[in-house]
């Protein structure tokens, strides 16, 4: 993380950080990611790809919501496609500061989730989650549900 931070210049606009990384599965600690996010210059957007976050120990998943609430320029992206085995179906969500989400909403239309993906996605109600054969162990599913519920509007 130190080398990544050192590479940021006044011309840097965005830093894309997958945690954990795909395909290696390596991840920085939650404290390292949170410190990195706090240390970024305000002109840099930090995009955190959390597609595989449910596969981490819950203590290793950074909680960037307090930094977002404090006005930091952070966008976190999540997907249901990995944890629920929805190969080829792009179902997910992002969370970040309201002005950034509003901007993304303007460009979202051609990238909307199609009807097939919506039907396969886990419902807001959690009744189907525990009966999904492709879901990983129950503790991780439960952690994913709690995390996702905290980030939804």
**What is the per-residue pLDDT across 42-58, written as a single tens digit (0 to 9) for each?**
999 999 999 888 888 88
Total Cβ atoms within 10 A of residue 4:
11
| Mean residue pLDDT across the chain | 80
The total domain count for the chain is 1
In this prediction, residue 142 has a pLDDT band, given cuts at 50, 70 and 90, of low
93 closest CA partner among 33, 152, 19, 15: 152
Whether 74 and 97 have beta carbons less than 8 Å apart is answered as yes
Residue 111's CATH number = 3.40.640.10
Domain around 63: 2-151
pTM reported for the whole predicted model: 0.73
- Token couple for 147: 């995390």
Position 37 scores a pLDDT of: 97
Q: Helices marked H in the chain — which ranges?
A: 2-6, 30-39, 65-69, 98-107, 115-120, 138-151
């Amino acid at each position: 993380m130190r080398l990544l931070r050192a590479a940021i210049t006044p011309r840097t606009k965005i830093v894309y950080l997958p945690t954990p990384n795909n395909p290696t599965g390596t991840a920085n600690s939650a404290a390292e990611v949170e410190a990195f996010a706090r240390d970024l210059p305000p002109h840099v957007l930090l995009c955190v790809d959390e597609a595989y976050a449910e596969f981490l120990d819950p203590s290793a998943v950074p909680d960037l919501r307090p930094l977002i609430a404090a006005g930091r320029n952070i966008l976190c992206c999540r997907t249901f496609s990995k944890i629920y085995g929805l190969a080829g179906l792009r179902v997910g969500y992002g969370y970040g500061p309201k002005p950034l989400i509003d901007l993304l909403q303007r460009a979202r239309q051609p990238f909307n989730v199609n009807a097939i993906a919506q039907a396969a996605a886990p419902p807001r109600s959690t009744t189907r989650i525990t009966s999904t054969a492709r879901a990983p162990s129950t503790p991780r599913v439960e952690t994913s549900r709690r995390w996702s519920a905290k980030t939804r509007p």
